[in-house]
A and B are shown apart, each in its own frame.
Chain A
Amino acid sequence: MTSLFEEIAEPAPDDVPVNRVSVTVNGKRRTADIEPRLLLAHFLRQGLKLTGTHTGCDTTNCGACTVLLDGKAVKSCTVLAVQADGRDVTTVEGMATGSELDPVQEGFKDEHALQCGFCTPGMMLSARALLNENPEPTEDEIRFALSGNLCRCTGYQNIVKAVLWAAAKENGQDPRQAVARYEAAQQGRAQQNGAHQ
């Protein structure tokens, strides 16, 4: 049996122990023999060819590798693949149902929240985890929840709107109106600040 690790790095010598893992990834059960030092990010990207999970920093800082592990957002560059044994993993590839996008994905599309796109999968999964817990987050709560995801384009404005969009859609409200209300409130704040100058 070849170890999954062999495909993606130096081959493991015969005496290196491999662990058999069985992980449900995006609803599909995947079984592999891997070395325990294999990181979940590499298991997903190189092993399962799910390259939507990005590794931006590999030092646990950027959040581009964020996936859901049993529903919780985790940085997959800082979880061992063996630790996912018997657990559920959701990557960006698992967000849509068939051709129907997750409202978070729709929101990102509608509000132009992806710039270079590198941080986007992690952003979307963090947003998904937030909305699962808090269906009606405020702007501050959204910014706080996404603070572990760095976007080098620094275009957080549209990302916040995208999450507001998704929340409204899921709550049966008009997402465009929700975003318009937010924009109006922001403009009001900006004008007030201007008036003080």
Chain B
Amino acid sequence: MYPGRFRYVSPRSIDEAIAVLTEAEGEGKVLAGGQSLIPLLKLRFASPGVLVDINNLPDLDYIRREDDGSFRIGALTRHATMERSASIARHQPTAAAAAPLVADPIVRNRGTLVGSVCHADPQGDWAAVMIAAGGSVVAQGPEGRRTIPVRDFVTGPFQNVLAYDEVAVEAVIPAPKGTVVGGFLKLERRVGDFATAGAAVTLELSGGKVSRAGIALTGVGAATIDAEDAANALLNRPLGAETIDRAATLAAEIANPKSDHRGSADYKRHVVHTFVRRILAGLTEQTERAA
């Protein structure tokens, strides 16, 4: 399977990348890790006129923890770098839990977090992690930069809000106000597979209570689902059996899975309930310690 013909450009700066995309007037596509785009090119599901490869912009390869505790993750930061980051392991438990579950180790050497969010696969993992953590994408175009919360960035299956002349330059995870706890669970049929159902939960705790909550679901809808109501059910409360069950029930209700070869809709909904409950139960202990 050969991709269709395209022109290949490997810019040496973001500005140059944007200029090429602008000139291509919608015929251009950014190539990051290529772990979703190249398979699509081979299947001829995508046939852009110009590929703008950002792999020669090493300045975009970073995981930075700012003084305020926020994280900035460059557009060339691979899944494997997330997986091995001691700083992420220490300060962003949801991302740390998800990183080793994204695809397989070889794909993780190439694929990028930002590329995954841009790709907006309804079964992708990073968009769910970012939504749970309240994260954003920073896009750069001819007019400068803008920051878009991931919950608004992903608009549907394989759709995002980027204009054709914009490059997503980094993802941002905001600084937590209290202690951060979180978890990620995903059901896969075999190693490296997409989620049959998955849940990401990030909580911030102060004084033994939940001061911020994010719950997002993957694999169970036409796009990543922001389970806002489920998260709100946790706010300003300590984590207890009743609160946990309420959140899990609300998450399962907003899940909108389809029956397919991976399982029936009912089954997937049940998995969502179980995962959200299981993550929260695991976090209870951490909450108690933080109190």
Q: A residues engaging B (CB < 8 A)?
A: 9, 16-17, 19, 35-39, 58-61, 63, 66, 72-75, 78-80, 82-83, 85, 126, 144-145, 147-149
Look across to chain B and name the residue whose beta carbon is closest to the beta carbon of A79: B34
Say whether B104 contacts A63, CB under 8 Å: yes
Say whether A78 contacts B192, CB under 8 Å: no
CB-defined contacts of B104 to chain A, threshold 8 Å: 63, 147-148
Say whether A74 contacts B8, CB under 8 Å: no
Say whether B8 contacts A73, CB under 8 Å: no
Say whether B7 contacts A78, CB under 8 Å: no
- Chain A interface main SS type: loop
Look across to chain B and name the residue whose beta carbon is closest to the beta carbon of A73: B106
CB-defined contacts of B6 to chain A, threshold 8 Å: 36-37
Q: A36-B51, A72-B109, A83-B34 are in contact. List 5 more A-B contacts (CB 8 A).
A: A58-B42, A59-B39, A63-B106, A74-B110, A126-B106
Kindly provide the distance from the CB of B100 to the nearest chain A CB, expressed in whole angstroms. Answer: 8
Contact string, B25-59, partner A, CB cutoff 8 A, digits 1/0?
A: 00000010011001101100000000101010000
Look across to chain A and name the residue whose beta carbon is closest to the beta carbon of B37: A78
Q: Determine which residue in B4, B7, B31, B38 has the highest number of CB atoms from chain A within 10 A of its CB, and name it.
A: B38
CB-defined contacts of B10 to chain A, threshold 8 Å: 82, 85
CB-defined contacts of A83 to chain B, threshold 8 Å: 34, 53, 55
Q: A73-B109, A147-B104, A147-B105 known; A80 and B7 CB under 8 Å?
A: no
Give the distance in Å from the alpha carbon of A147 to the alpha carbon of B188 in the complex.
13
Say whether A60 contacts B107, CB under 8 Å: yes
Say whether B1 contacts A78, CB under 8 Å: no
Say whether B38 contacts A74, CB under 8 Å: no
Give the distance in Å from the alpha carbon of A72 to the alpha carbon of B109 in the complex.
7
Q: A83-B53, A148-B107 known; A78 and B35 CB under 8 Å?
A: yes
Kindly provide the distance from the CB of A86 to the nearest chain B CB, expressed in whole angstroms. Answer: 9
CB-defined contacts of B55 to chain A, threshold 8 Å: 83
Say whether B39 contacts A78, CB under 8 Å: yes
Say whether B5 contacts A37, CB under 8 Å: yes
CB-defined contacts of B105 to chain A, threshold 8 Å: 73, 126, 144-145, 147-148
Say whether B109 contacts A37, CB under 8 Å: no
What 3 A-B pairs have minimum CB-CB distances, sorted nearest first? A148-B104, A36-B8, A148-B106
CB-defined contacts of B109 to chain A, threshold 8 Å: 72-74
CB-defined contacts of B31 to chain A, threshold 8 Å: 80
Look across to chain A and name the residue whose beta carbon is closest to the beta carbon of B104: A148
Look across to chain B and name the residue whose beta carbon is closest to the beta carbon of A19: B8
Kindly provide the distance from the CB of A35 to the nearest chain B CB, expressed in whole angstroms. Answer: 7
Say whether A37 contacts B41, CB under 8 Å: yes
Q: A37-B41, A60-B39, A147-B191 known; A9 and B2 CB under 8 Å?
A: yes
CB-defined contacts of B107 to chain A, threshold 8 Å: 60, 75, 78, 148
Give the distance in Å from the alpha carbon of A16 to the alpha carbon of B8 in the complex.
11
> Is B3 part of the contact surface with A, judged by Cβ < 8 Å?
yes
Q: Which B99-126 residues have C-beta < 8 A from chain A?
A: 100, 103-107, 109-110
CB-defined contacts of B191 to chain A, threshold 8 Å: 147-148
CB-defined contacts of A66 to chain B, threshold 8 Å: 106
CB-defined contacts of A16 to chain B, threshold 8 Å: 5
CB-defined contacts of A37 to chain B, threshold 8 Å: 2-6, 41
Q: A58-B1, A148-B192 known; A80 and B106 CB under 8 Å?
A: no
Kindly provide the distance from the CB of A65 to the nearest chain B CB, expressed in whole angstroms. Answer: 10
CB-defined contacts of A72 to chain B, threshold 8 Å: 80, 109
Give the distance in Å from the alpha carbon of A75 to the alpha carbon of B191 in the complex.
16
Kindly provide the distance from the CB of B106 to the nearest chain A CB, expressed in whole angstroms. Answer: 4
